[in-house]
Structure 1
Amino acid sequence: MSPSASPAVRTGIPWLPGVAVAAVAAAVAWGVHWLVPAVPLLTAAVVLGIVVGQLPAARAAVTGVLAPGLSLSAKRLMRIGVVLLGLKLSLGDIASLGWVTILTTIGIVVLGFAGTFAIGRLFRLPGHQPLLIATGFSICGASAIGAMSGVVKPKDEEAATPVALVTLCGTLAIFVLPLLWHPLGLTPLQFGHWVGGGVHDVGQVVATAQIAGSGALAVALVVKLTRVLMLAPTVAIAAVGERRRHVAGDPSVKRPPIVPLFVAGFIAAVLIRSFIPLPAVVTDGADALQTALLAVALFGLGTAVRLRSLVGTGWRALATGLLSWALIAALALVAVRLSA
Structure 2
Amino acid sequence: MNTAEQQTAAADTKITKGTAAESPKKQIVPGLALVATLAGAAFFLAQQSWFQRMSMGPLTLAIVLGIVAGNTVLRNQPIILANGIFLAKGLLLRLGIILYGFGITFQQISAVGVNGVLLDATMIASTFAMAQLIGRRWMKMEKETTILIGAGASICGAAAVLATEPVVKGRSDQVSVAVATVVIFGTISMFLYPLMYPLLNMTEHQYGIYVGSTIHEVAQVVAAGQAISTEAANSAIIEKMVRVMMLAPFLLILANIRLPSRSANAGVGKKERQKLVIPWFAVLFLAAAAVNSVIAMPSMATNAIRHVDLFLLSMAMTALGLSTQVSAIRRAGLRPLILAGCLFAFLTVGGYVLNRLLIS
Counterpart CA distance in 2 for 1:334 and 1:76 is 36
- Quote the RMSD (CA, aligned, Å): 3.3
- Give 1:240 deviation, angstroms: 4.3
Could you give the per-residue CA deviations for residues 185-211 of structure 1, whole angstroms, max 9, x where no partner exists?
x4xxx5324312222423322423x5x
- 1:275-323: CA deviation from partner (whole Å, max 9, x where unpaired): 2222222222222222222221232233333323325532321232122
- Structure 1 residue corresponding to 2:150, chosen from 118, 127, 130: 130
Q: Give, in whole Å, the separation in 2 of the partners of 1:241 and 1:19.
A: 37
**8 Å CA contact retained: 1:102, 1:226:** no
**Is the 2:59–2:223 Cα contact (8 Å) retained in structure 1?**
yes
- Quote the residue 1:44 is aligned against: 61
Q: Deviations over 1:96-138 (max 9, x none)?
A: x4xxx62332232222222222233333254522112112xxx
- Mean alpha-carbon deviation: is it higher for 17-26 or for 198-207? 198-207
Q: Does 2:307 align with 1:307?
A: no
Q: Which residue of 1 aligns with 2:203?
A: 191
Report the residue type matching 1:115 in the other structure: S
Output the CA distance in 1 between the equivalents of 2:24 and 2:119: 50
Kindly provide the amino acid, as one letter, of the partner of residue 23 in structure 1: A
- 2:133 aligned partner, one-letter code: L
Query: 2-side partners of 1:12 and 1:80: how far apart?
Result: 19
User: Shift of the alpha carbon at 1:80?
Assistant: 1.4
* In 2: Cα distance, 1:319 partner to 1:26 partner: 33
Greater shift in the superposed pair: 313-322 or 250-259? 250-259
What is the distance in 1 between the residues matched to 2:313 and 2:226?
16
Unaligned regions of 5+ residues in structure 2, if any? 1-13, 16-21, 136-144, 166-171, 216-220, 260-265
Q: Secondary structure at the match of 2:76?
A: helix
Q: 1:92 to 1:176 in 2, by over 3 A?
A: closer
The TM-score normalised by the length of structure 1 is: 0.74
Identity fraction in percent:
22
Asked whether the equivalents of residues 194 and 329 of structure 1 are also in contact (C-alpha less than 8 Å), the reply is no
Q: Is the 8 A contact 1:160 1:301 kept in 2?
A: no
The one of 300, 308, 319 aligned to 2:342: 319
Equivalences, count = 301
Q: Give the distance between the partners of 1:132 and 1:280, measured in 2 at CA.
A: 38
Instruction: State the 1:156 CA deviation.
Output: 5.0
- TM-score normalised by the chain length of structure 2: 0.71
C-alpha distance in structure 1 between counterparts of 2:61 and 2:345, whole Å:
20
In the other structure, the counterpart of 1:31 is 44
Residue 235 (structure 1) aligned with residue 247 (structure 2) = yes
Is this contact kept in 2: 1:45–1:296, CA < 8 A? Answer: yes
How far is 1:94 from its partner? 3.3
Aligned partners of 1:82 and 1:262 also within 8 Å:
yes
Distance (whole Å) between structure 1 residues aligned to residue 233 and residue 316 of structure 2:
22
Change in Cα spacing, 1:117 to 1:51, as seen in structure 2 (3 Å) is farther
Aligned AA for 2:322? T
Q: Distance in 1 between matches of 2:23 and 2:108?
A: 50
Aligned to 1:90: 105
Instruction: Give SS of 1:58's match.
Output: coil
Q: Give per-residue Cα distances to partners, 1:194-238, cap 9 Å, x unaligned.
A: 312222423322423x5xxxxxx64x3553344134045223324
Q: Is 2:70 aligned against 1:59?
A: no
Partners of 1:18 and 1:68 within 8 A in 2: yes
Aligned to 1:213: none
What residue number does 1:262 align with?
A: 281
**2: CA distance between counterparts of 1:252 and 1:109?**
29
| Letter aligned with residue 80 of structure 1 | L
